[in-house]
Amino acid sequence: MRCIGSLLLILAFSVHAADPPTKRYFPDNPRLVVLYQEDQEDRHGFPNTKRTYKEINERDEARRQEILTLLARGKVRTAQDYFYAAVVFHHGQTNDHYRTASSLAWIAATLDPKRNYLYLSASTWDRMMLKRDQPQWYGVQEKRDEHFKQIGFYAINDTAVTDEERVRFQIKPRARLMAEPDQPARWPPEVTDAASTEHPALKR
């Protein structure tokens, strides 16, 4: 797993740094769509899910193993493929799971900078940092009480990223995060993808 995560991280930075490749069009992998849908269905109504945590964890592990097989066979090729694979690994438990999720999400966002892909890239990175007992960068990961009500955010690194970068990744500026501790970090989807000091999130 650690080897896979490291290779994906190298690939993610290679995709980001390289010149735009010659366009080649691949169909999205329908199996990854199914794995993603199963992942979401298992979490429907969380925390009051139909399955036990043990059952969900076992199903998650089976999905992760299948995705590793698809990766090894070159069957994960499109931005959507990488996004769906990242979501599944994002719901892991170990640092290796989160590192792999972060690499997969970054590749998806690099291939196609859609809002969901960018946001997941930030979310997986923050989860990985917290797993390493370090402050998160963007401020996506929320604290919740025993009733699963959001009560704030885990510690945020004040110097890792700028507010302009947060907005680019569909996240509120830090001041707004702190002012709205019971609200999600994600900026509403109706705003533009462009990040600048003129962005409405930066004016409030």
DSSP string, 116-169: HHHHHHHHHHHHHHHHTTS-BSS--PEEE-TT--EEEE--B-SSSS-HHHHHHT
- Whether residue 25 is predicted with pLDDT greater than 70 in this model: the reply is yes
Which helix (H) or strand (E) covers residue 75, if one does? Answer: none
Over the stretch 46-56, which tens digit does the pLDDT of each residue have? 777 788 889 99
Share of the chain above pLDDT 70, in %: 80
Residue 89 predicted with pLDDT over 60: yes
What pLDDT is attached to residue 198? 42
pLDDT of 190 over the 60 cut: no
193 confidence band (pLDDT: 50, 70, 90): very low
Work out the percent of the chain whose per-residue pLDDT is above 90.
71
Tell me, what's the pLDDT at 50?
A: 84
> What is the residue-averaged pLDDT of the chain?
84
pTM, full prediction: 0.80
